[in-house]
Amino acid sequence: MAEHEGDCPGAVNVVMLGPPGAGKGTQAERLSRTRRLPKISTGDILREAVLAGTEVGRAAKETMEAGNLVGDDIMIAIVQDRLSRPDARCGFVLDGFPRTVVQATALDRMLAGRGPLVVLDVVVPEDVLVRRLATRRICSKCGSNAAPEWTNACGKCGGALVTRVDDGIEIVRERLKVYQRQTKPLVEYYATRRSFSSIDGNRPPDVVTAAVDAALDAALDGASRGVTL
């Protein structure tokens, strides 16, 4: 069926879902390394576009500064462009996309003939997220939020880490509410598929990683036996 399957045996496309603070960026990073798949973070792509001052970057900056999420059209165009590059041909780990059902249906269209899609939803109780987010630090230079707790330097670029200015408790709660409202239909869209797994993210990162690996292996095992994902 798939035109890529000849040169991409075992291709796998992974979507990581989860609210801000759930640790899905870290898990996506680890999965990318162990499975040798490019990690595609729409947050990173947007930040780069903003820094580079491209048309997309300028539009995205205005939207984000107004406290809104970047619209479906821009996000779909960005991801379509990124997935068409050679390194994503045999699979990828997507972090930050899709956020809406419109984006999810667009992704399904993009993936026709490109191997199975596995969706992993990292779930963490709201009070835990609020606590994590209110104390989270980001890099003042590159905006990376995968800041290790034991150092004051960014693991990516060495820049100084600062507490996010927008991470007051009230703002954190509001951001989580926006996330839940937006992604509830998205989770419903995916939840009936065999390739969808809910992962308990309220555990130490290594335990979560083991659960992520197990869920992905189970989905791939099903796919290899011809179970429709």
**Beta-strand relationship, 12-17 and 91-95:** parallel
Cβ atoms of residues 178 and 19 within 8 Å: no
Helices (H), 84-168: 101-110, 126-134
Number of helices followed by number of strands (H, E) in the chain: 8, 7
C-beta closer to Zn ion: residue 119 or 139: 139
164 is known as an active-site residue: yes
* Closest to 91 measured CA to CA, from 15, 171, 186, 177: 15
Structure tokens at 192: 């009936």
30 is known as an active-site residue: no
* Among the listed residues 27, 41, 144, 197, the single contact to Zn ion using CB under 5 A: 144
Among the listed residues 35, 131, 132, 164, the single catalytic one is 164
Using CB under 5 A as the binding rule, the residues of this chain from 149 to 168 that contact Zn ion are: 154, 156-157, 159
Cβ atoms of residues 196 and 121 within 8 Å: yes
Using CB under 5 A as the binding rule, the residues of this chain from 49 to 108 that contact Zn ion are: none
Cβ atoms of residues 120 and 17 within 8 Å: yes
Give CA–CA dist 202/19, Å, rounded.
12
DSSP 22: S
C-beta closer to Zn ion: residue 38 or 159: 159
CA triple 35-157-86, angle to 5 deg: 40
Among the listed residues 30, 39, 99, 114, the single catalytic one is 99
Q: How far is the CB of 139 from Zn ion (least distance, A)?
A: 3
Q: Give Dmax over CA atoms of the chain in angstroms.
A: 51
Q: How far is the CB of 189 from Zn ion (least distance, A)?
A: 34
Please identify, among the stretches 122-130, 134-142, 189-197, 220-228, the one whose residues bind Zn ion according to the rule CB under 5 A.
134-142
99 is known as an active-site residue: yes
Q: How far is the CB of 140 from Zn ion (least distance, A)?
A: 8
Among the listed residues 131, 136, 141, 194, the single catalytic one is 136
Give per-residue burial for 172-190: e unless 16+ CB within 10 Å, then b.
beebbeebeeebeebeebb
The verdict on 146 binding Zn ion (CB under 5 A) reads: no
Q: How far is the CB of 17 from Zn ion (least distance, A)?
A: 25
Among the listed residues 30, 39, 114, 175, the single catalytic one is 175
Q: Given the rule CB under 5 A, which residues bind Zn ion? A: 139, 141-142, 144, 154, 156-157, 159
The residues that are catalytic are: 24, 99, 136, 164, 175
